[in-house]
């Protein structure tokens, strides 16, 4: 267990330790969300083929975190490696009685430290475009809005990305018109 603040802490879990609490509590945490379970769209054969295709992807890194208050689990966070540079922060949930206490704001830098130590260059997440409870703390932590998506399962999603490398952040700011490159950075731009 690693302390966050007060009596709140977190622990990295195995998928076996993580899954039961997540399955039992996900719908309690996200009671107001409307989602479509697109797995219901597919036949058993389609699902079996997708499972076979997943075997081709190798063995990506997964991070499962349990959140605790006085040693009682009150939440989770999990995600996985998407490629050699990018980690996808898939989902974080905190039981209603413990929401709005700053837990996520304290947990986020811990997760970023773990992922930076692993060597990831980018961490991204997807959120319903009006989910300011998550979007605002992530923007404050240095994430950028990098993409919008229309998801079959969740509707309109904002992609937020965090770049550990300063040059990646500068490139993003350059492409969005927020950064006029200095002489040092111009050497990275083809065609100038």
pLDDT tens digits for range 116-152: 999 999 999 999 999 998 999 999 999 999 999 999 9
> In which residue are the tokens 């992530």 written?
138
Would residue 192 count as lying in a domain? no
Would residue 151 count as lying in a domain? yes
Q: How confident is the model at residue 187 (pLDDT cuts 50, 70, 90)?
A: confident
Given a cut of 90, is residue 15 above it in pLDDT? Answer: yes
Model confidence pLDDT, tens digit, residues 72-125: 999 999 999 999 899 999 999 999 999 999 999 999 999 999 999 999 999 999
Would residue 73 count as lying in a domain? yes
pLDDT at position 13: 96
8-state DSSP, 165: S
Would residue 191 count as lying in a domain? no
pLDDT at position 189: 79
pLDDT at position 67: 98
Q: Domain count of the chain?
A: 1
pLDDT at position 58: 84
Would residue 133 count as lying in a domain? yes
Given a cut of 70, is residue 12 above it in pLDDT? Answer: yes
Would residue 85 count as lying in a domain? yes
pLDDT at position 191: 66
Domain that holds residue 95: 2-186
The size of the chain, in residues, is 192
Given a cut of 80, is residue 39 above it in pLDDT? Answer: no
Q: Which residues pair with 49 in a beta bridge?
A: none
Residues of the chain above pLDDT 70, percent: 95
- Give the pLDDT mean for 20-45: 80
pLDDT at position 141: 95
The structure tokens listed for 101 are: 């206490």
3-state DSSP call for residue 173?
A: helix
Average pLDDT over the chain, rounded to whole? 90
Q: How far apart are CA 71 and CA 74, in angstroms?
A: 9
Given a cut of 90, is residue 50 above it in pLDDT? Answer: no
- Give the pLDDT mean for 42-50: 83
Would residue 91 count as lying in a domain? yes
Q: How confident is the model at residue 8 (pLDDT cuts 50, 70, 90)?
A: very high
Other Cβ atoms within 10 Å of 107 Cβ, number: 21
CATH number at residue 14: 3.40.630.30
The model carries a pTM of 0.85
């Amino acid at each position: 267990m690693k302390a966050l603040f007060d009596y709140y802490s977190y622990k990295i879990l195995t998928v076996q330790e993580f899954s039961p609490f997540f399955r039992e509590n996900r719908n309690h945490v996200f009671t107001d969300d409307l989602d479509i379970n697109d797995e219901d769209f597919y036949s058993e054969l389609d699902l079996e083929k997708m499972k076979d295709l997943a075997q081709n992807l190798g063995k990506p890194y997964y991070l499962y975190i349990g959140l605790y208050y006085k040693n009682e689990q009150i939440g989770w966070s999990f995600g996985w490696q998407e490629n050699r540079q990018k980690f996808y922060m898939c989902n974080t949930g905190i039981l209603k009685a413990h929401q709005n206490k700053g837990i996520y704001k304290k947990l986020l830098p811990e997760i970023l430290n773990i992922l930076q130590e692993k060597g990831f260059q980018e961490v991204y997440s997807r959120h319903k475009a009006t989910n300011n409870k998550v979007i605002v703390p992530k923007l404050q932590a240095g994430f950028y809005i990098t993409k919008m998506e229309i998801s079959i399962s969740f509707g309109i999603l904002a992609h937020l990305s965090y770049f550990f490398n300063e040059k990646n952040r500068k490139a993003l700011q350059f492409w969005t018109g927020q950064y006029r490159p200095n002489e040092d950075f111009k050497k990275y731009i083809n065609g100038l």
